[in-house]
Structure formats: structure tokens, C-alpha cells
Homo-oligomer: A and B are copies of this chain.
Amino acid sequence: MRRSHPPEGEPWALLVRLFFAQRATLPSVASELQLSLAQCHALHLIGTDRPMPMGRLAETLACDASNVTGLVDRLEARGLVARRPSTEDRRIRVLVLTPAGADVRAALVERMMAPPPALRRLSPREQRALVRILKRLLEEG
């Protein structure tokens, strides 16, 4: 194996390890809620701030529109989301969460956003330093 990536101690290598460690928990959360990863992602995006047209969901998920049709079909069949006609453009269908969908989404966000125990072991000063650094990392992309 080539050693072209950064060595162990570099910050990025550590972040990647943290990503993978965290990524491993998402499938268990998903199966706990009887959702696929794609459904988790979609449910997370629907019903945040503003109504979600299907086209915008496809764009945000970076997938084809035809894919969203089937994805929403299944979420709708389970009573989690509903299609509503747009009042402005009759071609557009906006997605809304049903009460059941809002509950599942809340449970999902709850578990997804639950900080790992290791984070609580950081001192307040370390937590502030981490927040400051992460904000700088998120400034651009």
C-alpha cells in the first residue's frame, strides 16, 4: 500500500477517522426506525423551514427526479409524508410531513444529533476551542 495520504497525526486523518466512526452508527439508527439511509436523508430534509418541492429535494439529494418519485411513493405509503399541489405553479408538488412523519423525523434527529459520550469528556475550554476551529472549517465549504 502506498503512503500518499497524510500520516496518522494530521488533523485531517483524525477527522476522517471520526467521520467513519460516526458513519457506522447511522445504519443502526436507520434500521431502528425501519428506514433506509436514503429515506433518513429525505425525511431529514423535508419539513425543516419551508415546504420542499420534489425538484428541490432531488437537487439537494443530488439524485435524479425519477428517484425521488419512488422514494416519496414509499414514504407516502407509510404515511410519513404527503404531496401537495403548489398554489403558484400547478406543475410543482410540494412535500409536507404528516404528524406521524414529524414524529419519526424528530426521533431520527434526536438520535442522529446525540453527541457521543467522548464529547462530554472535553473540558469547557476544549469545547470552546473546538467550536471556534470547526466554525473556521465550515466558513467556506
B137 touches A133 (CB 8 A): no
Contact B138 A18 (CB under 8 A): yes
- The answer, yes or no, to whether A99 is at the interface (CB within 8 Å) is no
B129 with A129: CB separation less than 8 A: yes
- The residue that A22 contacts in the complex, of B4, B6, B19, B116, with Cβ under 8 A, is B19
A91, CB-defined interface residue at 8 Å: no
Number of copies: 2
User: Does more than half of chain A's interface fall in helix, strand or loop, or is it mixed?
Assistant: helix
Asked if B62 and A134 make an inter-chain contact with CB atoms under 8 angstroms apart, the answer reads no
Interface residues of A in 1-60 (CB under 8 A from B): 1-2, 4-6, 9-19, 21-24, 27, 47-48
Q: Give me 30 A-to-B residue pairs in the complex whose CB atoms sit less than 8 angstroms apart, sorted by A's number.
A: A1-B105, A2-B109, A4-B106, A4-B113, A5-B110, A11-B115, A11-B122, A11-B134, A12-B115, A12-B116, A12-B119, A13-B113, A14-B131, A14-B134, A14-B138, A16-B22, A16-B112, A18-B134, A19-B19, A19-B22, A21-B138, A21-B141, A116-B137, A117-B140, A118-B136, A118-B137, A118-B138, A118-B140, A122-B136, A126-B136
